[in-house]
Structure formats: C-alpha cells, structure tokens
C-alpha cells in the first residue's frame, strides 16, 4: 500500500485524535470556542481508512477534531443507544430494535465497503486454496490438520504439513464476526444451525483475540494459524491470504476487481442496509460487506451537525479516491448519491 500502509503499531496509537482504547469515553462533548470536537466509537473493520480520512480532514479543517475509538461494532451500537458519542460505527449496521432505543433517531450511512480474508501462517505454504467445504469445516472444528483431505483436494501437488490448525477468532462483539458468520451460514447448513450468524458467536474452536488488530497480531505470531480479518489489516501486516471458492465454484483472491464485482451484485435499498452474504459471479470474491457510520437524526449543537456533515461529505467524495490503495472498495456512484440524500434526514 506504499506510504498509505498502516502498520499494527499505527493502528494502536493516537492518530490525529483517533484512538483505540478499551471502551468509548462518556459524553459527546460540546463544541467550544472555534474548535468543534466530534467523538465516535465502534467497528475496528474500517479503522485504517477512518484514521486516514479523519487525519486528512483535520489538516484542511483544523477547527474540527475527531476522536474515533475502534472498540468493536457491538460497543459502537451500545454507545449510540447510551448517547455517549456523536457518531458510532458498525459492520452490522443497526437492527430496528436497536434503533428504536435511540430517542433522537438513527441514520445509517454505508461510508465504505471491504472484504474479509482468511489469513494463515504456514511457513511451508505461499499459495493456498480453500474450498467452501474446507474453510467452513475449519471454523466448525471439523477440519483440524493442514493436510486434511478436504484441503488436499483443492491443492493438488502441494505438500501440506501434518500440523494442527490453530484457529484464531474474535473475542469481542464484532461486526466482522457477524459478516463472516452470516457468510458461513449461507454456505453451510450445519454452521447455520450452530453457531449460526452472530456478532459474538459461540465458537467450538479457536483462540480468541480482541479486534481486527488482535486477530492480526495472533496470526502473525502463531505458527500454523488461520483467522479472519479485514483486508486492509492483512495488507498492512503483510499476511498471506488464501484464495477462496466462490458461489460459482471459482477460486478467487481478494483484490480490487473481485471485490468490486461482488459489491456490484447487490442493489442498495433506500434504508442503505444491504447484505451480500454469498455473491454470485465467477469473478466475485465471496466475503464482502458494507460498513456503516451511525448518526443521530437530531443534533442540538448546530456546529457539530455542520462539522459532521462536512466530514461525511468529504469521506464519500475525496475519501473514496484512496479506498483501493487502503484495501477497501470504492463506493458505487449510486450509493454515494443515496448517502447524500439520506444526509438530509440529519438535522438540528
């Protein structure tokens, strides 16, 4: 990703007011003097690109300070319900039941999109294909060794080690987990029954790590491991990614072309919540998702409202130009227009 790459260290340090702490601070904080402070918390999935966007926006708008804490989608939704932030972020958007708990109303905006990749740390393997049977079986705890017949079948001629598979999963309430388990539930009936789709699934296998940052670090330091993380983290940490079998039976790697093909397979409705659990198309990468910014529909502080709308507008216009290099999927033009229309629902 050249100079745009974010190392694991930069993801855990303060970046122009963006921090990764154990939980969101209480209180959104009011604007004071000439400086407007916006606090947000939630998904770790978009943290790399949010950090970059907020940093760049702060350079051209020094009167706006953005403090975003990547604490997980579940915590982001809770912070919105509790009213302790100015905006939240979630890979799982928000359910109607969750929105009904917010008296100021909620407007969800899909600011970016990305994909979830399966990264592995097997010194002997530089190129690995995983069938739907193989990778769903690994996360069900049914495939436990790297030379299992299901993995051998999709890697003919490759010498696979007779080593136990160390599975790494998320420990926290996570939109990344929700998206991944939604996909696994779509392709495997047994997985659909248990553990099923969940932000915090009851995994039958795996070492648990917190956040995309934690899973990334665990994979990097644990030999013969495999785990699911957001593509941008994999690029930043220079982890090896498996090619996955898609709905059409083709093995595809995550890249700009395959992820955009998957995103194009679904129409975003007026409520801006669209799921792409198992995209069709020979060139489609199988695990892609939008990730949402969560805004209130009513803001008492007009300066905050103006600052937030300016930030969002910059993210969906200028910000999209760096999406690809950061490991994210540029938003389709139709989605950008729907976001701009939906911003009219956010008032003072």
- Give the model confidence (pLDDT) of 94-129 as tens digits: 999 999 999 999 999 999 999 999 999 999 999 999
**Can you give the pLDDT at residue 187?**
98
User: Looking at the structure, do residues 123 and 38 belong to the same domain, yes or no?
Assistant: no
Range list of β-strands (E), 162-311: 166-170, 207-209, 225-230, 240-241, 243-245, 251-252, 288-296
The total number of structural domains that make up the chain: 2
- Which residues partner with 291 through β-bridges? 112
**Strand pairing of 225-230 and 166-170?**
parallel
Q: Tell me the mean pLDDT in the region 67-86.
A: 97
Quickly state the pLDDT bin for 69 (edges 50, 70, 90).
Answer: very high
Residue 199 has pLDDT above 60, yes or no: yes
**Can you give the pLDDT at residue 5?**
38
Q: Do the domain assignments include residue 89?
A: yes
Q: Do the domain assignments include residue 278?
A: no
Return the biggest CA–CA distance within the chain.
67
127 Cβ neighbours under 8 A, 6+ residues apart:
158, 243
Residue linked to tokens 């069709």 = 280
User: Looking at the structure, do residues 90 and 123 belong to the same domain, yes or no?
Assistant: no
Task: Compute the distance between CA of residue 289 and CA of residue 328 in angstroms, rounded to an integer.
Answer: 10
Model pLDDT for residues 292-348, shown as the tens digit of each residue: 999 999 999 999 999 999 999 999 999 999 999 999 999 999 999 999 999 999 999
Residue 66 has pLDDT above 70, yes or no: yes
Residue 4 has pLDDT above 50, yes or no: no
- In this structure, are residues 178 and 275 in contact, taking their beta carbons and an 8 Å threshold? no
Q: Tell me the mean pLDDT in the region 260-281.
A: 95
Distance (Å) of CA 13 to CA 17, 47, 88, 261: 10, 12, 20, 34
Q: Tell me the mean pLDDT in the region 81-104.
A: 97
Task: Compute the distance between CA of residue 228 and CA of residue 230 in angstroms, rounded to an integer.
Answer: 7
The alpha carbon dihedral of 239, 240, 246, 252 has a sign of: positive
Q: Phi/psi at 81 (nearest 5 deg)? A: -65, -40
Quickly state the pLDDT bin for 28 (edges 50, 70, 90).
Answer: very low
**Can you give the pLDDT at residue 305?**
98
140 Cβ neighbours under 8 A, 6+ residues apart:
188, 190, 191, 204, 205
Distance (Å) of CA 130 to CA 45, 47, 87, 286: 23, 28, 38, 12
Residue 166 has pLDDT above 50, yes or no: yes
**Can you give the pLDDT at residue 29?**
45
Model pLDDT for residues 168-196, shown as the tens digit of each residue: 999 999 999 999 999 999 999 999 999 99
Domain finish residue from 223, 247, 263: 263
Q: Report which DSSP code applies to 24.
A: P
User: Looking at the structure, do residues 10 and 76 belong to the same domain, yes or no?
Assistant: yes
Q: Which domain holds residue 47?
A: 2-114+289-345
Residue linked to tokens 């790297």 = 146
Q: Which of 24-38, 53-67, 161-175 has the lowest mean pLDDT?
A: 24-38
User: Looking at the structure, do residues 176 and 226 belong to the same domain, yes or no?
Assistant: yes
Q: Tell me the mean pLDDT in the region 147-159.
A: 97
Q: Do the domain assignments include residue 142?
A: yes
Q: Do the domain assignments include residue 48?
A: yes
Quickly state the pLDDT bin for 34 (edges 50, 70, 90).
Answer: confident
- Which residues partner with 229 through β-bridges? 117
Q: What is the mean pLDDT of the chain?
A: 91
Range list of β-strands (E), 45-141: 64-70, 87-90, 106-121, 129-130
User: Looking at the structure, do residues 259 and 132 belong to the same domain, yes or no?
Assistant: yes
What is the b/e burial string over 161-180, where b = at least 16 CB atoms within 10 angstroms of the residue's CB?
eeeebbbbbbbbbbbbbbbb
Q: Do the domain assignments include residue 94?
A: yes
Q: What is the pTM of this model?
A: 0.85
Q: Which of 8-17, 80-89, 218-227 has the lowest mean pLDDT?
A: 8-17
User: Looking at the structure, do residues 73 and 151 belong to the same domain, yes or no?
Assistant: no
User: Looking at the structure, do residues 255 and 124 belong to the same domain, yes or no?
Assistant: yes
User: Looking at the structure, do residues 122 and 259 belong to the same domain, yes or no?
Assistant: yes
**Can you give the pLDDT at residue 33?**
56
Q: Do the domain assignments include residue 47?
A: yes
Task: Compute the distance between CA of residue 153 and CA of residue 170 in angstroms, rounded to an integer.
Answer: 28
**Can you give the pLDDT at residue 19?**
37
| Residue (of 266, 288, 256) closest to 117 by Cα position | 288
- In this structure, are residues 4 and 32 in contact, taking their beta carbons and an 8 Å threshold? no
Q: Do the domain assignments include residue 187?
A: yes
User: Looking at the structure, do residues 69 and 125 belong to the same domain, yes or no?
Assistant: no
- In this structure, are residues 155 and 129 in contact, taking their beta carbons and an 8 Å threshold? yes
CATH of the domain at 22: 3.40.190.10
**Can you give the pLDDT at residue 18?**
37
User: Looking at the structure, do residues 259 and 133 belong to the same domain, yes or no?
Assistant: yes
User: Looking at the structure, do residues 174 and 56 belong to the same domain, yes or no?
Assistant: no
Model pLDDT for residues 225-257, shown as the tens digit of each residue: 999 999 999 999 999 999 999 999 999 999 999
User: Looking at the structure, do residues 42 and 135 belong to the same domain, yes or no?
Assistant: no
Q: Do the domain assignments include residue 271?
A: no
């Amino acid at each position: 990703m050249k100079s745009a790459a974010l190392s694991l260290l930069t993801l855990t340090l303060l970046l122009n007011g963006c921090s990764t702490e154990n939980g969101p601070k209480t209180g959104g904080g009011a604007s004071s003097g000439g400086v407007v402070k916006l606090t947000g918390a939630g998904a770790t999935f978009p943290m790399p690109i949010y950090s970059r966007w907020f940093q760049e926006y702060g350079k051209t708008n020094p009167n706006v300070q953005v403090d975003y804490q990547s604490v997980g989608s579940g915590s982001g939704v809770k912070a919105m319900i509790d009213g302790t932030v100015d905006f939240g972020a979630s890979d799982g958007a928000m359910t109607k039941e969750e929105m009904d708990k917010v008296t100021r109303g909620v407007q969800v905006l899909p600011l970016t999109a990305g994909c979830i990749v399966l990264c592995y740390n097997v010194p002997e393997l530089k190129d690995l294909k995983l069938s739907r049977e193989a990778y769903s079986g690994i996360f069900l705890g049914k495939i436990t060794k790297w030379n299992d017949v299901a993995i051998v079948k999709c890697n003919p001629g490759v010498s696979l080690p007779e080593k136990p598979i160390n599975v790494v999963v998320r420990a926290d309430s996570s939109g990344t987990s929700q998206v991944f388990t939604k996909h696994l539930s779509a392709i495997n009936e047994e997985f659909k029954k248990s553990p099923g789709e969940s932000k915090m699934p009851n995994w039958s296998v795996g070492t648990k790590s917190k956040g995309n940052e934690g899973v990334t670090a665990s994979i990097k330091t644990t030999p013969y491991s495999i785990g699911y993380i957001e593509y941008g983290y994999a690029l930043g940490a220079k982890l090896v990614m498996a090619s996955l079998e898609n709905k059409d039976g083709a093995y595809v790697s995550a890249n700009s072309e395959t992820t955009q093909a998957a995103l194009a397979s679904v129409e975003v409705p007026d409520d801006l919540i669209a799921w792409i659990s198992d995209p069709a198309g020979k060139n489609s990468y199988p695990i892609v998702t939008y990730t949402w910014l969560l805004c209130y529909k009513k803001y008492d502080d007009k300066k905050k409202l103006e600052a937030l709308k300016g930030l969002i507008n910059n993210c969906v216009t200028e910000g999209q130009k760096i999406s690809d290099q950061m490991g994210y999927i540029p938003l389709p033009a139709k989605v950008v227009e729907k976001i701009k229309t939906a911003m009219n629902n956010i008032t003072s």
